[in-house]
Amino acid sequence: MTVRFKRISPDAIMPAYAREGDAGMDLCSVDDLTIAPGARALVHTGLVMALPPGYEAQVRPRSGLALKHGVTVLNTPGTIDAGYRGEVGVVLVNLGDVAFRVGKGDRIAQLVVAPVLRAETLEVDEVDDTSRGAGGFGSTGI
């Protein structure tokens, strides 16, 4: 499967897998900016993507940024639909205690391409019971 990218900035870096077998490609910034503690920013990649029909791209955080700096993708995973033809952007949030600097060429997120399964919906009067039932948030303990 081929995903086509168009550079709309001369500073754009094509997404790439860091290692053989990786699920996510690195997305890089074309911006130079600083994100204050508690703030968020839209970071541009300088890329427009053309996904084949039946696929989506998920924008996910980089674990190193999260662990070392408290910086993550705010709407994770961000979904890019196959029909979208705008610039790929990443909403980063700084949950750390100090300002975080993003520079041109910095790896800011991962892009995972996945097939889309479309579900049909059906309204019913009742749903079947299970052993779990309505047990949700924390129902299995800490």
Inter-residue contact 73 to 60 (CB < 8 Å): yes
Q: pTM score > 0.75 for this model? A: yes
Q: Prior bond to 15 cis, omega within 30?
A: no
Could you read off the pLDDT of 85-109 as tens digits, one per residue? Answer: 999 999 999 999 999 999 999 999 9
pLDDT classification of 122: cutoffs 50, 70, 90: very high
Residues 63, 132: Cα–Cα separation, whole Å: 32
CATH number at residue 22: 2.70.40.10
For residue 137, being part of any structural domain is answered with no
Could you read off the pLDDT of 58-82 as tens digits, one per residue? Answer: 999 999 999 999 999 999 999 999 9
Determine the 3-state secondary structure of 140 from DSSP. Answer: coil
Q: How many distinct structural domains can be found in the chain?
A: 1
Determine the 3-state secondary structure of 106 from DSSP. Answer: coil
Residues 114, 49: Cα–Cα separation, whole Å: 14
For residue 21, being part of any structural domain is answered with yes
Residue 51 has pLDDT above 90, yes or no: yes
